[in-house]
A and B are shown apart, each in its own frame.
Chain A
């Protein structure tokens, strides 16, 4: 079973701090990696996609990918209470367009 693992949290950080969310995956051939944010009662919305090793920055968000360690992370700088949500890591399995989602990490940003 190809899996994506996340710590369920909750991860609590004070407003203005950096939130660090982590994800590991088991399919070494995976090529596409995504972070989605899901507010309670809403659908997942894409935050970041990353395809190559290294860092990818978009505003306050930075995705980091390390294929050798099978590890993806998301950093949120200057965390805001509006960032409080569940963050889902998703991986596209090798040779398919099948996506495996982690169970998500609940982030709470404390004002």
Chain B
């Protein structure tokens, strides 16, 4: 398997623009997670899905952030409008909870810079 795939790998945008980050989880995995990582706050969970259904979005910073998972192989994280403080690395991760395991596998991340 190719692992978790994220696109784009780098995104530079201007304040006020809409940003869409994309993720393809590992096939067969039933959980998908979106994280944000900054030097100040470390790795923060934003939202996670189980079988395409959002379970906990308490980590989403504000209404400017939204996430969807229309099917088992695709998820998006959207920021509208973007602000400079949204600059961070955004990771998508997926896991399979069968057989008593719950290991998360991370994608390569999207480095977002908002000017």
Contacts and interface: CB of A to CB of B under 8 A. Distances in A.
Given A97-B97, A99-B33, A45 B106 contact: yes
Nearest to B56: A98
Contacts of A46: 103-105
A79 to B, nearest CB: 23
B110 to A, nearest CB: 11
A88 B43 contact: yes
Interface SS, B side: strand
Q: Is the interface on chain A under 10, 10 to 19, 20 to 34, or 35 or more residues?
A: 20 to 34
B95 to A, nearest CB: 7
Contact of B45 (A44, A98, A102): A98
Q: Is the interface on chain B under 10, 10 to 19, 20 to 34, or 35 or more residues?
A: 20 to 34
Contacts of A97: 31, 48, 50, 55, 95, 97, 102
Interface in B45-88: 45, 48, 50, 55-56
A87 interface: no
A43 B43 contact: no
B56 A43 contact: no
A98 B48 contact: yes
B109 interface: yes
Interface string A74-111: 00000000000000101010001111111110000000
Interface string A25-45: 000000010100000001111
B106 A32 contact: no
Nearest to B3: A43
30 contacts: A34-B103, A34-B104, A42-B108, A43-B91, A43-B107, A43-B108, A43-B109, A44-B43, A44-B91, A44-B106, A46-B104, A49-B101, A88-B42, A88-B43, A90-B104, A92-B102, A96-B55, A97-B48, A98-B45, A98-B56, A99-B33, A99-B45, A101-B42, A101-B43, A101-B44, A102-B42, A103-B41, A103-B42, A103-B43, A104-B42
Interface of A: 32, 34, 42-46, 49, 88, 90, 92, 96-104
Interface of B: 31, 33, 35, 41-45, 48, 50, 55-56, 91, 95, 97, 101-109
